[in-house]
Each structure stands twice: as structure tokens, then as C-alpha cells.
Amino acid sequence: MAIKIKSPTFPESVSDGTVANWVKKEGETVLQDDVIAEIETDKVVLEVLAPADGKIAKIHKKEGDVVQSAELIGEFLEGADIRSDDLPKDQKKEQIDLPSAVDDAAQVMADAAQNFTKTGPAAKKIAKEKNIDLNSIDGSGKGGRVTKADVLNYASNNQSDPEKPAITKYNDEKESTSEDRETKRVAMSRIRATIAKRLVEVQQNTAMLTTFNEVDMQPIKNLRKKHGEEFLNEHGVKLGFMGFFVAACVNALGKFPLVNASIDGEDIVYHNFKDIGVAVSTERGLVVPILKDADLMTIPEIESAIFSLAEKAREGKLSIEEMQGGTFTISNGGIFGSLLSTPILNAPQTAILGMHKIEDRPVVVEGEIVVRPMMYLAMSYDHRMLDGKEAVSFLVSVKEQLENPEKLLLNL
């Protein structure tokens, strides 16, 4: 039975998407719930799953084509045993024009060898043209998938003529090469293009300002050292720093509700909930999954939720619902070694907190110079909403709670 393959139904916040990859090709047999295609939106990559056991009968939308919500992208034939009469006319012709039985057997063996590696159809085609064994390439795509770029880079780095300059070709690229120089032009992914557009819009449409402070992380490090193992055994997740920061920000947002508000035209919208965005870096770009109702969560629940969302983000499995909304954002550049930065607002939010690298530095404590693990904090905020007094007071509240965890636990 023929079944229409449609793109996922997008929420109102997503206008369209792009066919990023056909994991399965026309005529290929698939099992129910196999990933057959990937649709990239400006927020996430959505997977299209096989509705049943069967074959891909026809592909209507090629890789790179723009698709609308629930738009027809292909056709599917249900059933484990698909007769040639059930296939579209163009596929019937392909079957009639098959080479001799010997060549056909060789092709099947070659395809089987390639299928040991998770590979897109474009990468398979190029590997076949260049006589490259896909099993010798380390894939950079999701789940270790070998991408078209991986094959081309492998081919460039393994040319037989060492004096011939490497020329790498990509979809819709323009190349400029000479004897010893090379340039390449690659189109942005939808996610990267959207990130670029929104960051520029924020800087153009807000009065963004950044205030700084520093926090002594020794009390929290002592807590983690004392209770970290017990915490892991009890809750099945490590006791990190982010749980303390989320809890401290949630408490501070309760004291300074304007930081948790947003601007809509000439109105200020106050939110009676606290949804905290946690910035996560992935291969496709920066994404911000949301901890919904973080003010109702304990530190163990916060740590578990962050771990789960971060894993989903890196695997490209975040749902759009898990990325929508947010009233305040926390970004941790310290995991990459950043000592200080000025984070950019996540519109339409009013503020964002930037965490940074913990470094041992000499500081004065009760009149004595001691070495402490210090972290710089940066809070960027929209000056249209917040005056310096509110912004600085909010950041000081976060600092005081982190340096005195008993205040954090007692919501003081």
C-alpha cells in the first residue's frame, strides 16, 4: 500500500524547513521507525521516520529543498515483499536496465560493504566515484555518520599526486584555487544563519549593557567534595556547578521580577513563572534548551534535567517544545576556558548570565591575602528595562547566594 511521506508538522514559531539529508534512498528497504530523512529548521533538526516496514518508492523533495509544514516529500510502499509492479514507472525502468547478473552481484556486495558505515546517499555516491572505502573514514556527523564533506576531505588529504593542490567541492560552493592557495565558500546551515540573524537583531534593537562581578567558588567546591559521591549514588547524576547557579538565579529573579520580564512593543510583560534557558554548544551551533518551571525544582532535579537536555542537544534530538520560551538564560563559557566575556541577550529576554573559568587567584579575606578559586560573572541586560541599580543588585544577590550556600538552600 502506498503511503505519503510528509515533513513534520511545524509549530507556529517555525515557518519552514530544509531537507538536510535523505538517510534512505529510492528503492531502499527500511524497517518501521527507521530514520529515512532529516529536516533542518532554524531551531532543531527533525527526523522523519518510516511509518512501517517497506520501501522508499519516490523522493519528491531533494536535499537542500525548502519544505513547508506537513508537505509531501516522498512516497512509501508498505510491505516486506514489494513487487516490481508496485514501484513507480521510473524505478521499473531502472530494474529493466539492470546490468548483468555478475555486475549486479558485485554492486550488491559493494553496497553491503558501504552500509557498515552510517552514510548519507551523497557521501556514498562520491565515495563510489572516487573508489574510497567508507569504513576508513571517521564520520563527523550525528551518530558518527559520514558526511559528504568527510568524503571530500578524505579524498583531498589522500591524493596520489602530492604536488597537485587539493580542491574540495561542496553543494552550491564557488572555488578559487591557485598553485599554492585555496579558498572555499560554504553555505550556512539554517541554524547557523538564524543564530547570526538573531544576534545581530538583538544588538540593533536593544540597549544592551554588561555588568561584572566575581564569586568565590570555594564554599560550593567544598560542598561538592564532601557530598559529591553520596549525591551521585542517591540521584544518579553528578553534582555540578550549574545546579547551584540555576537555583541562585531563580531565587534572585523572585527578588527582582523585572529581570524575569520582557518588552512587548510599549508594554512590559511580567512572567509569574521562571523558565531558565541553558546554552549548550553542539556541532550544528549554539542551542538553548529550557528548564520549565525551574523555581519548582530541587537542585538534584535541576542537575538531572540539564544532563538530559544537554545529551539530547548534542544528539540533535531536542524537540521544538524543549527550546521554546525561556525568561532568563545562563551561558557557561568557562567550560571552553573563557576567563571573561560579554554574553549577548537571548531575545525577547531581558538578561543573560555568563559563567566563566574558575581560576585560583590571590584575594583579600578578612584582611589576609589568600588563594581562592574565583570566577568572573557577567550579566548582560537590556537597559531599556533595567537600570544599573536593579542589574547590579541582581548580580550581587546571585554572588552572595553562591558564596553562602546556606542562603541558597534557605531562599534568603
Taking the C-alpha atoms of residue 221 and residue 381, their distance in angstroms, rounded to an integer, is 28
Name which of 343, 249, 330, 260 is nearest 288 in CA terms: 330
Q: Of residues 33, 65, 360, 387, which has the active-site annotation?
A: 387
Q: Which residue has the cell 510599549?
A: 266
Question: 317-324 contacts: CB < 8 A, separation 24 or more?
Answer: 318/44, 318/287, 318/289, 319/44, 320/10, 320/11, 320/13, 320/14, 320/41, 320/43, 320/44, 320/46, 321/11, 322/289, 322/290, 323/43, 323/44, 323/287, 323/288, 323/289, 323/290, 324/11, 324/13, 324/290
Q: Is-catalytic flag, 227?
A: no
Q: DSSP class of residue 399?
A: H
DSSP character string of 214-281: EEE-HHHHHHHHHHHHHHHHHHSS---SHHHHHHHHHHHHHH-GGGG-EEETTEEE--SS--EEE-EE
Q: Which residue has the cell 549548550?
A: 280
Neighbouring residues of 228: CB distance < 8 A, sequence distance ≥ 6: 238, 239
β-sheet bridge partners, residue 47: 38
Do residues 314 and 282 touch, judged by C-beta distance below 8 A?
A: yes
Taking the C-alpha atoms of residue 378 and residue 372, their distance in angstroms, rounded to an integer, is 19
What value does the CA radius of gyration of the chain take, rounded to a whole number of Å? 26
Q: Of residues 60, 235, 271, 383, which has the active-site annotation?
A: 383
Quick count: other Cβ atoms within 10 Å of Cβ 93?
A: 10
Per DSSP, which regions of 80-200 are E strands? 175-177, 182-184
Q: For the chain, how many residues are written?
A: 412
Q: Is-catalytic flag, 383?
A: yes
Residue 244's φ and ψ, nearest 5 degrees, are: -65, -40
Taking the C-alpha atoms of residue 272 and residue 293, their distance in angstroms, rounded to an integer, is 10
Q: Could you give the residue numbers annotated as active site?
A: 383, 387
